[in-house]
Amino acid sequence: MRGDVRRLTRTVAGAQVVAVTDVDLDRARSVAEGVPGARALPTGQALIRADDVDGVVVASWGPTHEEYVLAAIEARKPVFCEKPLAPEVDACLRILDAEMASSRHLVQVGFNRRYDSAYRAMKRTLDGGSLGPPLMAHCAHRNPSVPPHYVGGMPITDTAIHEIDIVRWLFDQEITGAQVLKPRKTSRAKADLQDPLIVLMEIADGALVDVEVFVNLPYGYDIRCEVVCELGTVALGDGSLVVLRKDGFRSDHVPDNFQERFERAYDTEFQEWVDSVVAGQATGPSSWDGYAATAVADACLAALDSGARVPVQMRQRPAFYAPAGLRTPVGAGR
């Protein structure tokens, strides 16, 4: 929470933090004390209902997202929900239904890579059409290490979830099937974690995506993506700030963690959300995007379990969640 509050008060122009809450109320109070004009409130529901709250940021534990997002929709207030929209597909669907019933686009999901300037340049290149249609993508998501509570399906739900969203966004299509391969396990992973994994995803038009997920590769935090099209490819650059020549090597630094790599994207994400709230026009990842990610992650988890290809089960996309240009704006009902 502290990070989000700091970003909203110090980096993002146009926003003011007026209330905070936390399951640990003392923590909420301590944060509120550091922000002029902010107060701590006892519950998320109280915060969402407060008259001077115009928009809500939900950054609590995943299983609690549904409750707060639904409350924000009911209060007809824009809500920024950190990923996942909800851990369960059914919860995502309940949010979709509520948002559609409200007739307004109120929900944005925190898929911050869409705000990264490199991914955006890649998207512009693909949309420009000079490379022809995309046929494959090769991705890698590498972390130097993960905390002790990172187990089981978290390589899918906490890590590959970013690629799930970015691939949907880059290809502008849904994912229709998934398979998960288990390479030789690294000796650095705990007993209850299969690491690395290779996640294979099928795009609706037949394109294939492979994602290496490796969260105990100690050399650094490295996010890579190359989209292979009919006429050429486009990839995230390997560029770093400076290049060192020393001791027989020419080297550049790999980011230590996601903050170093995506800090600016977090800023842009918040700024654009604040702007969209002011403008009354939702522009960011929607509930539909959150739902789709969860649905694909479910298929991946099943594939991880079964070892076989698993089709992705998804509801028909409602017109309400048509591409942004055609959608009902956030403030249309006001």
Residues 187-226 that bind its own copies (CB under 8 A): 187-188, 196, 198, 200, 203, 205-208, 210, 212, 214, 217-220, 222
Q: Select 54 or 205, whichever has its Cβ closest to its own copies.
A: 205
When asked if residue 5 is in the footprint of its own copies (CB under 8 A), the reply is: no
- Minimum distance between the CB of residue 317 and its own copies, rounded to whole angstroms? 20
- Minimum distance between the CB of residue 193 and its own copies, rounded to whole angstroms? 14
Residue from 53, 75, 131, 154 in contact with its own copies (CB under 8 A): 131
Which residues face 171 on adjacent strands?
none
- Minimum distance between the CB of residue 31 and its own copies, rounded to whole angstroms? 17
When asked if residue 186 is in the footprint of its own copies (CB under 8 A), the reply is: yes
Q: Select 140 or 314, whichever has its Cβ closest to its own copies.
A: 140
Residues 265-284, one symbol each (x = binds its own copies by CB under 8 A, - = not), give ------x-------------
When asked if residue 323 is in the footprint of its own copies (CB under 8 A), the reply is: no
Shortest CA distance to 166 belongs to which of 129, 137, 146? 137
When asked if residue 61 is in the footprint of its own copies (CB under 8 A), the reply is: no
What secondary structure does DSSP assign to 254-283, as a single string? PPSSHHHHHHHHHHHHHHHHHHHHHHT---
Q: Select 61 or 249, whichever has its Cβ closest to its own copies.
A: 249
Q: Select 14 or 318, whichever has its Cβ closest to its own copies.
A: 14
Residues 97-126, one symbol each (x = binds its own copies by CB under 8 A, - = not), give --------------------xx-xxx--x-
When asked if residue 1 is in the footprint of its own copies (CB under 8 A), the reply is: no
Token digits of residue 182: 């288990």
Q: How many chain residues touch its own copies (CB under 8 A)?
A: 73
Residue 229 region by backbone torsions, left for phi larger than 0, else alpha for psi between -120 and 50, else beta: beta
Mapped onto helix, strand or coil, the DSSP state of residue 227 is: strand
Angle at alpha carbon of residue 159, lines to 157 and 162, rounded to 5°: 95
3-class DSSP string for 36-92: CCCEECCCHHHHHHCCCCCCEEECCCHHHHHHHHHHHHHCCCCEEECCCCCCCHHHH
When asked if residue 236 is in the footprint of its own copies (CB under 8 A), the reply is: yes
How many other C-beta atoms lie within 10 A of the C-beta of residue 42?
Answer: 10
- CA–CA distance, 292 with 308 (Å, rounded to integer): 20
Q: Select 258 or 328, whichever has its Cβ closest to its own copies.
A: 258
Angle at alpha carbon of residue 10, lines to 7 and 11, rounded to 5°: 65
Shortest CA distance to 194 belongs to which of 146, 140, 226, 257? 146
- Minimum distance between the CB of residue 283 and its own copies, rounded to whole angstroms? 16
